[in-house]
Amino acid sequence: MAVAYEQYLVPVVFRPFAEDLAAKAVALRPRRVLELAAGTGVLTSELLAAAPSAEVTATDLNEAMVAFGAAGVPGAVWRQADAQRLPFADGGFDLVVCQFGVMFFGDRVAAFTEVRRVLGPGGRFLFNTWGPLGTHAFEAALQAGLERAFPVDPPRFLATGPHGYADPGVVVTDLTAAGFAVEEEQELTFEGRAVSIAGLATGYLTGTPVRAAVEERGDGPAVRAAVVEEMTARLGPGPVTAPMTAYVFCAVA
């Protein structure tokens, strides 16, 4: 999954937002940075390139992702860690960053409270979340393809996972409950550029939890064919450019 995620999804979907988040992070002049849900290290590498003097500790709950990230981005210190039980001392960081990970925290207020604990006074928590599914053209087309392949019981991972925390008001409420003051909130849309729809579909179907949902339901090759056909009908065969919307938050401990 990590290989497919890195090859097909990172350049198209995640790198544009990682570049933005790294630029925002550098403007805060951090010295000790903790990254949560680092995945394969797309944001990690951007942070190290933009702020080479900062000490970056990258974490992920998934050990396979940690191993992959550590091999690809060795300039950071990599640790397996649960965001709800961070294995770090109080006040050890001046910036915590997270790219498209907070929506997967089981108890977000508990995780945010942990983030505040490991931040020093005045430290910042900088992160982004996806907007509603309909504001991400690639993933809306993918979901349509899944519904075509499985008209009775289509996988709902995209709506409930990546796009399941798409109300900025709820995010602000959770941050406030954890003791943060929200300093900045921004809606941001970038254009993703995919060389081919077939490659993008492969990334989602083999490099995300959509893979398990498809394997539970039916024939993988037939599903891929249906998804590629529907996505192509909606977006074109590629190269294709499509909008993706996210929200960016910066909160102060």
Encode burial over 149-186: b for 16+ CB neighbours within 10 A, e otherwise: bbeeebbebbbebbbbbbebeebeebbeebebebeeee
- The DSSP annotation for 8-52 comes to IIIIIIIHHHHHHHHHHHHHT--SEEEEES-TTSHHHHHHHHH-T
CATH class label, 2-252? alpha beta
Encode burial over 120-147: b for 16+ CB neighbours within 10 A, e otherwise: eeebbbbbbbbbebebbbbbbbbbbbbb
- The DSSP annotation for 100-132 comes to S-GGG-SSHHHHHHHHHHHEEEEEEEEEEEE--
Main-chain phi, psi angles of 68, to 5 degrees: -65, -45
- Which helix (H) or strand (E) element contains residue 142? helix 137-149
- Strand intervals (E) in 100-239: 119-130, 181-194
SS3 at position 73: coil
Cα–Cα distance for residue pair 24/97, rounded to 1 Å: 10
Q: Given this model, what pLDDT does residue 219 score?
A: 76
Q: pTM for the complete prediction? A: 0.95
CB within 8 A of 16, min separation 6: which ones? 190, 191, 192, 244
How do residues 41-58 score in pLDDT, each as one tens digit? 999 999 999 999 999 999
How do residues 103-142 score in pLDDT, each as one tens digit? 999 999 999 999 999 999 999 999 999 999 999 999 999 9
Q: Given this model, what pLDDT does residue 147 score?
A: 96
